[in-house]
Structure formats: C-alpha cells, structure tokens
Amino acid sequence: MRDRSQEGWEPKIVAFLCRWCSYAGADLAGVSRYQYPPSIRIVRVPCSGRVNAQLILDAFKAGADGVWVSGCHPGDCHYISGNLYARRRFVLLKRFLEFVGLEPDRLHFSWISASEGEGFAEKATEVTEKVRALGPCKRLHKEFDSNQENIW
Amino acid sequence: MVSVNKRITEELRAEAGRLLESGEIAAFLGYCRGSLPYAPRPFVARTAKDAERLIWNSFCVINLANYIPGLLQELDSEHGAGDEISGPKVGVVATGCWSRNIVIQIQEQRFTRERVLIIGVSSRGMVDRKRLHSAVDGMEITGIEEEDHIITLMAGGEGIEVPRWNLIRDNCRTCTRPDPVFFDEMIGEPQGERSIAEPFSQVEEIESLTPDERWEWFQQEISSCIRCYACRNACPLCYCSTCFVDDSRPQWVGKSLNATDTALFHILRAFHCAGRCTDCGTCESVCPMGIKMRLLTKKLQKDLLELYDFEPGLDLETPLPLSTYRQDDPDLDIVSEPAEQDGVRPSRKGG
C-alpha cells in the first residue's frame, strides 16, 4: 500500500504518449541517455486524438498525482488531424477541470516529436517538479478501503 | 384581456388539430395538464380531438426534443417502416433552446429534417419549481392562475400573487434567444434577441475564486446528489445506448455513493454535452435535489464562445466544435516544449 502523505513521497504521473511522436521521443530520450525522473508511467496510445476525458479522469481516480498527454506537433499527425481534434478537446477539458477546482498544474499537454529526446526529458522533469510542488492529489482520487490492495 | 400563453394554447390546439386532421403529421408532441397544477406533462396527440388537450404555460420545463426519436420509432412500427425521409412525421412545439436542440440532433443524425414539423413559440421564460415552492413557504399548491406578469398561487386556502419574473429559472433569465431559430411555422409574436449585459455572470463569479474555493464549491454543490441520473435521462443529448456510468469494464464511475464517483459523473456528463448544450435548463429543472449542474455546461458554453466563436444549434451547416478543427486554433493551455522558449524551433518528426 503506498503512503500518500509521508516523506519520501514521489509523484505518480500517467503519461499518455502518441505512438508516432512522443512515445518515440521517450524512446530517443532513453537511447540518448537523457536523465529524467522515474515518476512517469507511460501509456502508449495510437494518437493523442484517442485520449478522451474518461481516460484522463480514470487516471486521477486510480491515484495518479498528475496526468500528461503528449502527441505530434500540429501538422505532423500520422493520421493528418488527430491531434488537431485533440487540441480542442484538451483545451476545453483543462479549463473545465480547473473550473471545478482541479489544480492547474495537475494536467499537462505537450507536443513532442520523435526527434526531441532531450525535449521529452526536459518536459518530463518539468511535469514531475510541478506535480511534486502540489503534493499528492486528493481531488478526484477514489480512496479504497485500506485493507484492499490498490492496483498501483 | 387574454394572456399571451392562453392565446398560444388556443392557436396551438387549432394548428395541431389541423395538421393531424390533414394527415400532414402522424403525431403532435406538446404538453397537457398533469396531475399537479405546476407540472404539465409531455403529451402526444394523435388525433384532432387529442389536440384539444394541448396546453402552453410557464411550467413547460422539460425539453420535448428528447421524445422525438422514440416517437418516430414508435410511428415507424405502427405505420410500417417508412424511410428516413418520407416516413410519418412528428409535429413538435419548440422554443428557442428546444429548436436549437433539434438542430443538434438532426446534425448528429438522430432523425432527418424531413420527419419533423416544428411549430415555433417564443419562450417567455419557464418557472423554477424551487422558487415556486419557496414563494408559498413550502405549502401545497392546489391551483395556479397565470397572467402575463402575475402568477396567482392557490395555497393554504388563499391566493398568493407573485410577480412572474421572480419565479423564472436562471437559464431563462440569461437567455439571449427566446425565439425559435429553426421552425416551419411560428405561433405568437417573436420577441427578438434579448441583450443580456452579463450572460455568464454566474460562471464568472466561480472563475474568480481560487482552485481550492472552486473545489469547495463543486463538492458542496454536488454533495446532495443521489445519482438518480434524472439530469441525464431528461437531456435530449444523452442518448448513448450504453452510458459511461453504466459501463462496467472499464468502470469509469463506481456504482456506490462516493464523492469521487459523483464528481466524475458530473464532470463527464457536462463534458459530453460540450458544444451541444443549448442551455435549456431541463437537467436542473428535473433534479430532485436542486443541484445547479447547469453551471457546468454553461462554463463549457462560455469557453466555446470565447475560443471558437461557437454557439450551438443556430443552423444545420456549422459543424459541431469538437468534431472539427482549424489549423490556427488557439494553443492556449498546451505547453510548448522547453527548447522553443529559448527562441530555437526544434526540428520536427523525422528531422
């Protein structure tokens, strides 16, 4: 059972990365040996356009302290326009979640290409530090019975 | 002098009767008296005689657009399968927000334009039931007399006169388009567009709070939710054959009364209506607990107007905002990669 309030707490961040750009960017960061915090849990998705509000909220519900979605730069989408649809959805969702009281730095979006290994490591560090500054995420996290094994 | 709503009732009966008689429509969707004086109920007239039961007043709070697809389906099974264009028609009475809602449903291919005959009525605002009850201190209302600006409530053996506007719902108070925007025939006089100085003032009030205060407000607002899903069921936009709340694998929202699950339900319900909600206020009107969930969709409406200059349901051609994009859409909250901030544009995919 993870401890959410004690010292030594490390943020847990779920990163939805598009299979064509940002996931490959993460790969390049690894191959190039750029250092970034181990707080990122990567979920590979076919396209940033695949990521909907349910997926993001489900991550928070399951105990993520931050969520990061990253896809191809506008104009570079493997499916031509998936990230452009996603952009509208994300902008609207982020503003909306902030409206109901989610802290602005919990949710991050970025465009990272397959050649931006260093950019990936920097962004991963930035996201981690911003989430760390906020502490554990209590809002939207569904607390389970302490006897129950948490899936994390 | 006969009040506006009484005149509309008369004309509605005559027109619906004529259309049913001539066979132009197979059924007419409107309101008839309900068992409580302040709760008329949605009603389907199938003959000219039925049409005599139609009424129109300030208590017609449920958006009738919700019943059109089901009614068309029913007619198809009765009359034998027509096709999507020449099948039997439904006549429906629609105010500004309802007519826009019908536009959205046609855009989403719930039914075709050819199968609805819309009788437009300019809305003078509908009554908020909670305001109604507090006007009589919770006493039982046994009768209602409605005039243009005064509503007389019979309660405790006497008539209590209340200025009509004091009872009107929040969404009707800030409504800028009371006239139907999409209709075949119009009954009564149009009022023209209303100019509201601050249509989003309720939303702005919450936006001005800190994140902690907003969370506090949100939790407070939904704390009484019993998750009866009346808001979802009454909403014409909520028609997925399996709603996300009923999914079990994956289970987006738990089944028990848990604060997080309730919050997720309200967030997702509102977000699914983004770019489609016409602020008809039905969700709020049917809520047994008096939750103001309309503010959530109102916030989305405000952002869509600001960011993409979009208002839902004004015409059949404009695509819904989340099913389209522009190359130059604002990148507002999407953080640029750090390298770019130094003025160096990093190379793109594939170098």
pLDDT digits (tens, 9 = 90+) for B41-95: 999 999 999 999 999 999 999 999 999 999 999 998 888 766 777 889 999 999 9
Range of the domain at A119: 13-134
Residue A99 with chain B: CB contacts under 8 Å: 203, 206-207, 214, 296, 299
Block residue for tokens 């969520």: A67
Confidence of residue B116 (pLDDT cuts 50, 70, 90): very high
Using CA atoms, how far apart are residues A96 and B268, in angstroms rounded to an integer? Answer: 10
B206 and B299 part of one domain = yes
Q: In the β-sheet with B141-146, what is the strand arrangement from edge to edge?
A: B141-146, B150-155, B158-163
| Sequence letter at residue B234 | A
B74 and B122 part of one domain = yes
Note whether A136 and A4 are within 8 A (CB): yes
- Beta-bridge partners for B163: B150
Q: How many helices (H) does chain A have, and how many strands (E)?
A: 4, 4
Instruction: Give B199-202's long-range contacts (Cβ < 8 A, gap of 24+).
Output: B199/B174, B200/B174, B200/B298, B200/B302, B201/B174, B202/B170, B202/B174, B202/B295, B202/B298
The alpha carbon of residue B310 is apart from the nearest alpha carbon of chain A, in Å, by: 12
CB–CB of B346 and A119 under 8 A?
Answer: yes
Q: What is the pLDDT of residues B266-322, one digit of tens each?
A: 999 999 999 999 999 999 999 999 999 999 999 999 999 999 999 999 999 999 999
A145 located within any domain: no
Q: Other CB atoms closer than 10 Å to residue A32's CB: what's the count?
A: 11
Domain count, chain B: 3
- Write the residue in B215, B303, B331 that is nearest to A95 by C-beta: B303
- Residue where a domain terminates, one of B139, B154, B187: B187
B140 and B181 part of one domain = no
Residue B339 with chain A: CB contacts under 8 Å: 116, 118-119, 122
Using CA atoms, how far apart are residues B176 and B193, in angstroms rounded to an integer? Answer: 6
- Beta-bridge partners for B120: B94, B186
Domain count, chain A: 1
B342 located within any domain: no
Range of the domain at B293: 201-320
A64 located within any domain: yes
Global pTM exceeds 0.80: yes
| Sequence letter at residue A77 | C
B331 located within any domain: no
The alpha carbon of residue B70 is apart from the nearest alpha carbon of chain A, in Å, by: 28
Q: What is the ipTM of this complex?
A: 0.91
B182 and B33 part of one domain = yes
Using CA atoms, how far apart are residues A93 and A142, in angstroms rounded to an integer? Answer: 20
In sequence order, what are the residues at sequence separation of 6 or more whose Cβ sits closer than 8 angstroms to the Cβ of residue B254?
Answer: A142, B260, B261
Q: Supply the CATH number for residue A57's domain.
A: 3.40.50
B121 located within any domain: yes
Where does B80-160 have alpha helices with state H? Answer: 96-107, 129-135
B236 and B220 part of one domain = yes
B255 and B111 part of one domain = no
Q: What is the pLDDT of residues B149-189, one digit of tens each?
A: 999 999 988 999 999 999 999 999 999 999 999 999 999 98
- Chosen for mutation from B267, B305, B309, B310 (greatest number of chain A CBs closer than 10 Å) is B267
A141 located within any domain: no
B69 and B181 part of one domain = yes
- Beta-bridge partners for B93: B119
B112 located within any domain: yes
Q: Other CB atoms closer than 10 Å to residue B351's CB: what's the count?
A: 7
B93 located within any domain: yes
A3 located within any domain: no
Residue A51 with chain B: CB contacts under 8 Å: none
B67 located within any domain: yes
